Amino acid sequence: MLLELSLPLINPHMAHARVDSILVRPDKKIAVGQAILELTVDLSDQFPHDCPPVSYYRLCASEAAWLRHLAIAAGDKVAVGALVATFSKTSDEAVENCDRRALRTTVVGVTRQWQPW
Amino acid sequence: MAALVTMLDLTLGPLTCDNFVIYRSGLRWLVSDGHVCRAGEPIAFCNIGLRSSDGKIRSTAPFPGEQTDLQLTLAAPMPGTLHQLPDASRGGWLDQLDRYQHWSERFVPGSLDITAGADNRSRWQLIFSAGERMTELAEDRSGRLTGWRRIRRAWHGERSDHGTLVSLGTCEQNGIFLGEQHDFSELLAASPGSLHVIHVGDENLVPAAGVLADRMRRNVATNALLAADMTQAVLGGPVTPGPADWHYAGSALSALTRCPLSERYDLLTRQGLSPPVAINAVVLSVNAEPKVVLRHRKLGYRAYWHRFRVDTTGQAIRNWLNVSFEPLSRTIDDIQTDLRELRKLLAERGVKHVLIMNALSTSGGESIFTYAPFSQALGDELPSVRAKELNLMLHDLAEETDIAIVDVDSIAAGLGAAAHLPDGVHQSGPMQDEVRGEILHILEQREFFAPARAQTIS
């Protein structure tokens, strides 16, 4: 069974998210609750905004799986619904011609640490 | 059978001010000829000036810093169909500068077709507005309260028994107070009593409780020290300040060394010029309380600017902030302490009512099935948990000190946050109406509107 991770629609007004960091590595197992990606959603990239509604999110697994393929890199701007990564239930199962479903995930808003300018 | 209609000529009515002659510009119409007006609807405005008998505005005149944009709006005293008189508006600069006409109480700028026998008053209602420009260079005469301003304010003009309400918060308060036309008209129309409202934006300094308290405590000497230090730091840094740095530095210095809670506010009404008014109520927002504020390394004062504002300024300012300030992380308890101290300072200044807007405590964008990935205290990492903690902190604070909570969280839940508060801060028009109504309701419950003025303003 392949498990696909696509960029979820976190906010109905968003079209994209920026991948800030990738917290998993190919061919490694992820545990329940493990963080996969950190994302920035900036709604002002859809329309000019004096007070940009920027939110930060962490995408975590809510089931154990093996990361088989990453389709994105840190810094990418990814569209909602675009494939982000492919996982499998076991480390050695074939990745072609098999059943697929969405990876079960948790999306959570996070705060970022203070950064100087 | 059709109701009988009668045409009612409405005058400007009396408006006087001891020792000053009231001048005005021509009228600028806000609605077209033939418009069917609601009672209280703004229909036209002009600029006015309080000039000495020789026609000059002296430095000792009322409304210091506000004379160039003292404006007066005419509102319909009852429903009716408007007929504009042709000489009410003269166009061009004659409708923008106050110096060309004297106020004449018998002047009729327009009339209303009203139902015969309806309550018919003989003059237009007056609503005043004023606001000091951030700089005189920010002249913008395109409308009411337009341009970049340190402060915007407006008040009912028929009577002088106002309650004075100050809005100090983040951009979520702009729409609640200023309304869709940015002229306070919804708030003034909905107010059950005479109201003088002051709104201070957050673009040049975010009014977090600690920042505001430090501002209130500073005096002329400490402000001079602050200004001298800032000048030395910005000019002595490794980068030559550019235009964006100078603009930012000027607005920041103005905000750091002047406090809207300590300023003089003159009011003019049908009853003449009032003595400078005291502030009766302040509305704050817990969204103005970030986890980290800046603390000046040498002078110790606290300040905070939105990151996106700093991002668009120059390198000299960013260098000043990086070198002269250190980040000061605040726990929920620290914020509560700051709010408690601020409440105390406000009470010492005679502010009777402090209302604090709470935060949206849930996020439709989250789907948390496990908190396992979060090792720190959840409130430090998760904004929705922090918002819950902030809201609970406000309830604790309300038990020990006299504050009122404006339950924005509950209003958003009732209306649907996804549709009306999609990013947790920026509200829809209907939500702004609800929050505005809640603020007025709380003020009415707390007897902000004195019995004499707790009547329909008409």
Residue of A62, A80, A112, A114 best to disrupt the B interface, most CBs of B under 10 A: A114
- A35-82: pLDDT as tens digits: 999 999 988 765 556 677 788 999 999 999 999 999 999 999 999 999
Q: For chain A, what is the radius of gyration of the CA atoms?
A: 15
Q: Check whether residue B281 and residue B422 sit in a common domain.
A: yes
Of A52, A107, A114, nearest to B366 by CB-CB distance is A107
- Domain assignment of residue A15, yes or no: yes
Residue carrying structure tokens 């999110």: A57
Query: Of B114, B132, B149, which marks where a domain is finished?
Result: B149
Q: Which positions ≥6 away from A9 have C-beta within 8 Å?
A: A80, A81
Among B77, B154, B157, residue whose Cα is nearest residue B110: B77
A-chain residues near B292 (CB < 8 A): 114
Q: Check whether residue B417 and residue B284 sit in a common domain.
A: yes
Calculate the CA B361 to chain-centre distance: 25
**What is the distance in angstroms between the Cα of B361 and the nearest Cα belonging to chain A?**
12
Note every long-range contact of B50-53, with CB atoms under 8 Å and residues 24 or more positions apart, other chains counting: B50/B17, B50/B20, B50/B21, B50/B22, B50/B23, B50/B268, B50/B273, B51/B20, B51/B21, B51/B22, B51/B23, B51/B99, B52/B19, B52/B20, B52/B21, B53/B21
A-chain residues near B321 (CB < 8 A): 116-117
Q: Check whether residue B119 and residue B214 sit in a common domain.
A: no
DSSP for B90-108, please give it: --GGGGT-GGGEE--TT--
A-chain residues near B174 (CB < 8 A): none
B-chain residues near A32 (CB < 8 A): 370, 372
Asked if residues A62 and A36 have their Cβ atoms less than 8 Å apart, the reply is no
- A8-46: pLDDT as tens digits: 998 888 899 999 999 999 999 999 989 999 999 988 765
Query: Of B119, B149, B179, which marks where a domain is finished?
Result: B149
- Domain assignment of residue A24, yes or no: yes
A-chain residues near B365 (CB < 8 A): 10-11, 55, 57, 107, 109
- Domain assignment of residue B87, yes or no: yes
Residue carrying structure tokens 């001010």: B17
Give the global pTM: 0.90
**What is the distance in angstroms between the Cα of B171 and the nearest Cα belonging to chain A?**
8
Domain count for chain B = 2
**What is the distance in angstroms between the Cα of B373 and the nearest Cα belonging to chain A?**
5
Asked if the Cβ–Cβ distance from B171 to A108 is below 8 Å, we say: no
Query: Of B110, B126, B149, which marks where a domain is finished?
Result: B149
- Domain assignment of residue A30, yes or no: yes
- Domain assignment of residue A115, yes or no: no
Domain that holds residue A24: 2-43+53-109
Q: Check whether residue B214 and residue B139 sit in a common domain.
A: no
Domain that holds residue B32: 5-149
Asked if the Cβ–Cβ distance from B369 to A11 is below 8 Å, we say: no
- Domain assignment of residue B175, yes or no: no
Task: Tell me how far apart the alpha carbons of residues B201 and B408 are, in angstroms, rounded to a whole number.
Answer: 19
Which B residues in the span 148-177 are in contact with A, Cβ-Cβ below 8 Å? 170-171
Tokens of B6: 């009668």
Looking at the DSSP bridge assignments, the partners of residue B155 are B128, B196
The CATH number covering residue B277 comes to 3.40.50.1110
- Domain assignment of residue A83, yes or no: yes
B-chain residues near A117 (CB < 8 A): 310-311, 318, 321-322
- Domain assignment of residue A95, yes or no: yes
pLDDT of residue B1: 56
Asked if the Cβ–Cβ distance from B422 to A11 is below 8 Å, we say: yes
- Domain assignment of residue B429, yes or no: yes
- Domain assignment of residue A60, yes or no: yes
pLDDT of residue A52: 72
The CATH number covering residue A102 comes to 2.40.50.100
Asked if the Cβ–Cβ distance from A105 to B366 is below 8 Å, we say: no
Walking along chain B (458 residues) 10 residues at a time, the average pLDDT comes out as 82 93 96 96 96 85 92 96 95 94 96 81 94 92 94 94 94 95 94 96 95 97 98 96 96 96 94 92 97 97 93 94 96 97 97 97 78 77 91 98 97 93 90 98 94 47
What per-residue string of b and e applies to A105-114 under the rule 16 or more CB within 10 Å gives b?
Answer: bbbbbbbeee
Asked if the Cβ–Cβ distance from B386 to A109 is below 8 Å, we say: no
- Domain assignment of residue B52, yes or no: yes
Which B residues in the span 285-304 are in contact with A, Cβ-Cβ below 8 Å? 291-292
Tokens of B453: 């003025």
Domain count for chain A = 1
- Domain assignment of residue B272, yes or no: yes
Sign of CA dihedral B25, B28, B33, B37: negative
Q: Which positions ≥6 away from A99 have C-beta within 8 Å?
A: A1, A2
- Domain assignment of residue B122, yes or no: yes
Q: Which residue has the higher pLDDT, A99 or B444?
A: B444
Q: Is B133 on the interface with A (CB under 8 A)?
A: no
Residue B250: its H or E element: helix B243-257
Of B329, B373, B386, nearest to A34 by CB-CB distance is B373
- Domain assignment of residue A114, yes or no: no
Asked if the Cβ–Cβ distance from A32 to B370 is below 8 Å, we say: yes
Task: Count Cβ–Cβ pairs < 8 Å, chain A vs chain B.
Answer: 86
What per-residue string of b and e applies to B289-328 under the rule 16 or more CB within 10 Å gives b?
Answer: bbbebbbbeeeebbbbbbeebbeebbbbbbbbbeebbeeb
Tokens of A22: 């990738």
Neighbours of B450 (CB within 10 A): 13
Largest CA distance in chain A: 50
Helix axes B209-217, B332-348, angle to 10 degrees: 40
Looking at the DSSP bridge assignments, the partners of residue A102 are A4
Torsion of CA B140, B144, B150, B155, to 10 degrees: 160
pLDDT of residue A47: 59
Q: Check whether residue B269 and residue B414 sit in a common domain.
A: yes
